[in-house]
Amino acid sequence: MIFKPEKYNIPDKRVEPFIDPEEIWGYIESTKNPSVEEVNQIIDKSLNKQRLNLREVAVLINADSPDLVEQIKNGARELKEKVYGNRIVLFAPLYIGNKCMNNCLYCGFRTSNQEAIRRTLSDDEIIKEIEALEDNGQKRLILVYGEHKQYNAEYIAHTVKLAYNVKKGNGEIRRVNINAAPLDTEGFRTVHAAGIGTYQIFQETYHPETYNKYHVSGPKSNFEYRLTSLDRAQEAGIDDVGIGALFGLYDWRYEVLALVRHTNHFEACYNVGPHTISFPRIKDASGLAIDDKYLVNDEDFTKIVAILRLAVPYTGMILTARESAQVRDEVISFGVSQIDGGTKLELGAYSASLNEKQNLNKEQFAINDNRSLNEIIDELISKGFLPSFCTACYRLGRTGEHFMEFSVPGFIKRYCTPNAILTLTEYIVDYAPEETAKKAWKLIEKEIEELKDFRNVDELRKRVEMIKNGKRDLYF
Ligand code: SAM
Ligand code: SF4
């Protein structure tokens, strides 16, 4: 039966236009020059685990003296430490195909870019790529596709199932997320049934005029169809969705507020915010054709990440290898929950399975962090972070885990840290070079020690030993 809200006189919030540029600019214009007290009160509100409203986020956006910006960053650091602890979840993107019917002026895959050699990995090539990723220790992937008739819901579902079935040695992929074009509700149902984790769709810019300027042809040129795409996903049963804005197309202040507005929309309509927020910055791409007026510098970028952390304290935040190691290191401490490691964007690059001519193909855009997965893990450990490949919540049907981490007392100690320890143990035993392994064991000892009041700590120790003796995939 189809639910018809109007029949019951219930306003259907899903169909209300939820992005109103005038409203967003109104908040920004009316909160100029905030006082130190006001900014501090707002930071405190977030530290007390209360969600900020649009006006309060606008105040933080307008707090631009160096002292206030430092306070915002300190607030984000404190929130991260207080709530989330030191875990960082690792994943890798896998580009499946770069055929594209759209003409997004910032993207190397756009249809008018003659330099791009169009390719879709064959099933065998996908398997080889995944084997190479498993050989590095990856357990979580995001599959990425251009927008093309060939990459329809059935094809996406097919590649997801393919990914879950590749097992090499002790390697396996335990969570497959998707970054692909919007689908209709039926299409979302098809990919949902294939067992996807998160479906990510970035709005790119929430400013309709700018959107029209940069999306000149193809299905993506319809602003509203894209804006409502994750509502269709929800309707199809995918409650794990990821939103994002591509910073550099329009004024960052507007995009930050619009991301929060989009989050409010999900909370109002589905009682759950987005699983993750992404905030990619435009990077150089083959044939890049954009105005540089709104490009975001490092200083503003770090402020954006800190404001988002305080604004939506219980949403996962993803930072990718588009950013340099230096920028990544700084903003990770503001509460980024996931980063990619060992990333390669050229088709077929993980396994180097394509021959030289095919490999002349350009990636979608340039990345700035070329460290291997192990280098990243090694550095995270040296800086006191706990790398994690955990996929437990999603596999146990505990959706909304960021919300639970945030709001259920002891959730992180009971589940997240032990699962991070167990997945890091697997990584050490199966993939880590000796030097990294030594550091990682030390970290694990320290982490277990800190969990000593945790009721299952003996069970945790036992499971670490079981993994050393060959067991895999243990979680709480
Ligand atoms: N084709 C699908 C789409 O457009 O939604 C999914 C894949 S697209 C390759 C993934 C994301 O890459 C886009 O949503 C966009 O935000 C980002 N992207 C495109 N060009 C970029 C560039 N030059 N620098 C950084 N990110 C870029
Ligand atoms: Fe195609 Fe996506 Fe690139 Fe746009 S961003 S050209 S839709 S791959």
CATH superfamily to which 5-18+80-371 belongs: Aldolase class I (3.20.20.70)
Q: Please, which pLDDT band fits residue 66 given cuts at 50, 70 and 90?
A: very high
Distance, CA of 272 to CA of 178 (rounded, Å):
19
What's the pLDDT at 460?
A: 97
For the chain, the residue count is 476
CA dist list (Å): 349 to 66, 119, 233: 42, 13, 31
CA of 102 to the centre of ligand 2 (A): 6
Q: What is the mean pLDDT of residues 298-327?
A: 93
CA of 300 to the centre of ligand 1 (A): 21
Q: Is the pTM of this model over 0.75?
A: yes
What amino acid occupies position 394? Y
Distance, CA of 278 to CA of 293 (rounded, Å):
21
| Closest protein CA for atom 25 of ligand 1 | 282
CA of 161 to the centre of ligand 2 (A): 24
What's the pLDDT at 362?
A: 59
CA of 376 to the centre of ligand 1 (A): 23
Q: Is the pLDDT of residue 1 over 60?
A: no
| Closest protein CA for atom 16 of ligand 1 | 246
CA of 107 to the centre of ligand 1 (A): 6
Q: Is the pLDDT of residue 386 over 70?
A: yes
Distance of CA 173 to the CA centre of its chain: 17
Q: Is the pLDDT of residue 357 over 70?
A: no
Q: What is the mean pLDDT of residues 194-198?
A: 96
Q: What is the mean pLDDT of residues 437-446?
A: 98
| Closest protein CA for atom 5 of ligand 2 | 107
Residues with CB under 6 A from ligand 1: 106-107, 109, 144, 146-147, 179-181, 201-202, 204, 246, 280, 282-283, 285, 288, 322, 364-365
| Closest protein CA for atom 6 of ligand 2 | 110
Q: Is 275 a pocket residue for ligand 2 (Cβ < 6 Å)?
A: no
What's the pLDDT at 360?
A: 45
CA of 283 to the centre of ligand 2 (A): 14
| Closest protein CA for atom 11 of ligand 1 | 202
Ranges of each domain in the chain: 5-18+80-371, 400-468
What's the pLDDT at 355?
A: 47
Q: What is the mean pLDDT of residues 227-253?
A: 96
Ligand that comes closest to the CA of residue 217: 2
Ligand that comes closest to the CA of residue 288: 1
Q: Is the pLDDT of residue 423 over 70?
A: yes
Q: What is the mean pLDDT of residues 328-352?
A: 91
Residue 168 pairs in a beta bridge with 171
Residue 178 pairs in a beta bridge with 143, 199
What's the pLDDT at 84?
A: 81
Q: Please, which pLDDT band fits residue 348 given cuts at 50, 70 and 90?
A: very high
Q: Is the pLDDT of residue 7 over 70?
A: no
Average confidence score pLDDT of the chain: 92
Atom of ligand 1 nearest to the CA of 322: 25
Q: Is 280 a pocket residue for ligand 2 (Cβ < 6 Å)?
A: no
To test the ligand 2 pocket, which listed residue (103, 106, 109, 290) has its Cβ within 8 A of the most ligand atoms? 109
Q: Which of 371, 349, 367 is nearest to 358 (CA)?
A: 349
Q: Please, which pLDDT band fits residue 314 given cuts at 50, 70 and 90?
A: confident
Atom of ligand 2 nearest to the CA of 204: 5
Q: Please, which pLDDT band fits residue 288 given cuts at 50, 70 and 90?
A: confident
Q: Please, which pLDDT band fits residue 361 given cuts at 50, 70 and 90?
A: low
Q: Is the pLDDT of residue 359 over 80?
A: no
Distance, CA of 389 to CA of 367 (rounded, Å):
22
What's the pLDDT at 198?
A: 95
Q: Is 110 a pocket residue for ligand 2 (Cβ < 6 Å)?
A: yes
Q: Please, which pLDDT band fits residue 11 given cuts at 50, 70 and 90?
A: low
Q: Is the pLDDT of residue 414 over 50?
A: yes
Across 188-202, 325-339, 345-359, the highest mean pLDDT is recorded for 188-202
To test the ligand 2 pocket, which listed residue (96, 220, 223) has its Cβ within 8 A of the most ligand atoms? 220
Q: Is the pLDDT of residue 354 over 60?
A: no
| Closest protein CA for atom 2 of ligand 2 | 146
Q: Is the pLDDT of residue 49 over 90?
A: no
Q: Is the pLDDT of residue 306 over 70?
A: yes
- Residues with Cβ within 8 Å of 439's Cβ and at least 6 positions away in sequence, in order, are 378, 381, 382
Distance, CA of 242 to CA of 224 (rounded, Å):
17
Distance of CA 250 to the CA centre of its chain: 21
Atom of ligand 2 nearest to the CA of 364: 3
| Closest protein CA for atom 14 of ligand 1 | 202
Residue with the bigger pLDDT between 195 and 366: it is: 195
Share of the chain above pLDDT 70, in %: 93
- What does the pLDDT look like over 70-104, one tens digit per residue? 999 999 999 998 888 899 999 999 999 999 999 99
